[in-house]
Copies of this chain bind each other. A is one copy, B any other.
Amino acid sequence: MTLLRVDASIQGDQSASSALADQVLDQFVTARPDVPVVTRHLGQQPLPADAWASAIGGNFTPEADRTEAQRTAIALAQEIAGELQSAEAAVLALPLYNWGVSQHVKTWIDLALAGAPHGAELLQGKPVTLIVTRGGAYGPGTPKEGWDHSVGYLRRIVEEVWGAELTLIERELTLVGVNPALDAFADLAAQMHSTAQEQAAKAGADLAARHSA
């Protein structure tokens, strides 16, 4: 039994999404120090750009005829699929980048799908906390309403394809304090931050309670 944590920020110590994941984990680990936490940081150690095509090519090649690159790629794909399959819960901290899914996250999803049997529900019935952070505001009535093209896709994969029970935590306006043009939204940003922190702490406590049940 493990808890899988996946990060995709390229902001290192400044990451808003990783900070929220830290809060989920703090609650969880305090209550359940016995559960190993498996981590994968897609932003800091990106998966190779040529692995997915090699894994797909390898999957269509008889085992004895596979190239070394195909074997390596299939092993990586199976490792990634195995991390999802063997986890009993997961925390995914996946920022919105350029209005879409992080390039590194799409590579991870492609490899996970290539590394598992077709149609495998890698997270079936498992509690998954999905943290999505956005630099600006995307709510109803804002100029960028509808410009978050990541959450719909991530729900599709994590909930529908992989079968997880999803808890979604969103935090917007993370660039307030970084981009002076957003200074007018300081109060709203602080409120959104505080709400997300409460949701993260609750998600961690819920995960721990579920695991000890």
Measured between beta carbons, the chain B residues less than 8 angstroms from A57 are 10
Question: Which chain B residue shows the least CB distance to A50?
Answer: B46
0/1 interface trace, chain A 112-138, chain B, CB 8 Å (1 if under): 010000000000000000000000000
Q: How far is the CB of A155 from chain B (nearest CB, A)?
A: 10
A152: Cβ under 8 A from any B Cβ: yes
0/1 interface trace, chain A 96-110, chain B, CB 8 Å (1 if under): 011111111011011
The 5 closest A-B pairs by CB, nearest first: A46-B49, A10-B53, A103-B106, A149-B153, A103-B107
> Can you list 27 A-B pairs, Cβ within 8 angstroms, ordered by A?
A10-B57, A46-B49, A47-B49, A48-B49, A49-B49, A49-B104, A49-B107, A52-B103, A97-B110, A98-B109, A98-B110, A98-B113, A99-B153, A99-B156, A99-B157, A99-B161, A100-B109, A100-B153, A100-B157, A101-B101, A101-B106, A102-B106, A103-B106, A103-B107, A103-B110, A149-B149, A149-B153
Residues of A within 8 A of B (CB): 10, 43, 46-50, 52-53, 56-57, 97-104, 106-107, 109-110, 113, 147, 149, 152-153, 156-157, 161
